[in-house]
Amino acid sequence: MANLLRSAKSGSDWTRNEFFAYNITIVPVPPQQFFHSGADPSLDHLDSVILTASPGADDTSYSDVGYLDLATSATQESLINDFAAQTLKLLGFNERHIIISTRFIIPLTICGESKRTAEMDVCLLHRPTMVLLVLVEDKTLSNNTNAESQVVAEANAIFQFNNDKRKRKGLPRLKVMTIPCITMSGTRPTFYLVPVTEELSNAVISGKYPGNQTKVLKCVTVAGHTRRASEGMEDAEYRKLAFKRFLAFKTLAKSCWSEFLEGY
């Protein structure tokens, strides 16, 4: 693997080949182990209409259901991004000093080239500018890349970007940041924890093979009752499960970013 050809690619151009090139593996983890939680988060604070309404129903004007309606039959990528951003807002990810941004672009230095970029479909920003979480739409049907490769690329860019921000504030560089990431395949979320180390970052920057393997934890959102593997949040029961997973991930993500926000 050390002899694999590596090239300077922007985040949107990463494929699974980069996993081999930079000694990265994806480790599926069951929800109980991934979230380190017992009881599911409560949804009692959400309006029951949002939890039960069917997309396209004539008896509701709730904007959240409208975003879901458009995302379910999306013909444009932006509709999935809009729904994802609205979901994060609905579930309270935009806390004090945190905003939700779409199409946010940051630099990515790779293979000695500093002019590559990573464009995040949706992300959380801690003001003034520190990236906390990234969400990527799965575009597998329209190109040869996939969301899983892209979130790993963007996590590496976030490590570089956040450490640069820390340096500018006179704070020490961190040797590791665990970046919380989400992919959306239609309206079906999958959650990731990407531990970007200084060794991995330096390997990407220099285009070399790191000696230590990076293990990315992955948790899919699957409901046993769904009729089709492609069914997402248009199904009310799946929607409730997905919202609970989002809320559990918010707690987990906050524990991750609190470490690289320390002193910021």
Query: Of 106, 155, 164, which Cα lies nearest the Cα of 134?
Result: 155
Q: Examine residue 242 and state whether it is found in any structural domain, yes or no.
A: yes
The predicted structure's pLDDT at residue 144: 47
What is the number of structural domains in the chain?
1
Whether 156 has a pLDDT exceeding 80, the answer reads: yes
Average pLDDT (86-92) is 94
Q: By the 8 A CB rule, do 137 and 143 touch?
A: no
What local confidence, expressed as pLDDT, does residue 221 receive?
92
**Is 31 a member of any domain?**
yes
Question: By residue range, what is the domain housing residue 112?
Answer: 11-260
Question: pLDDT, tens digit, for every residue of 201-213?
Answer: 999 999 999 999 9
CA 35/CA 28 separation, integer angstroms: 13
In a domain, 1, yes or no: no
Where is pLDDT greater, at 16 or 62? Answer: 16
Determine, yes or no, domain membership for 6: no
For residue 94, being part of any structural domain is answered with yes
* Residue 4 is assigned to a structural domain of this protein: no
Residue 156 belongs to a domain:
yes
Q: Are 215 and 25 in contact (CB under 8 A)?
A: yes
Contact yes or no for 92/124 (Cβ under 8 A): no
How many Å apart are CA 212 and CA 41, to the nearest integer?
A: 36
Which residues are CB-contacts of 176 (< 8 A; sequence separation ≥ 6)? 195, 196, 197, 198
Residue with the larger pLDDT of the pair 223 and 58: 223
Question: Has residue 3 been placed in a domain?
Answer: no
* Most distant CA atoms of the chain, gap in Å: 60
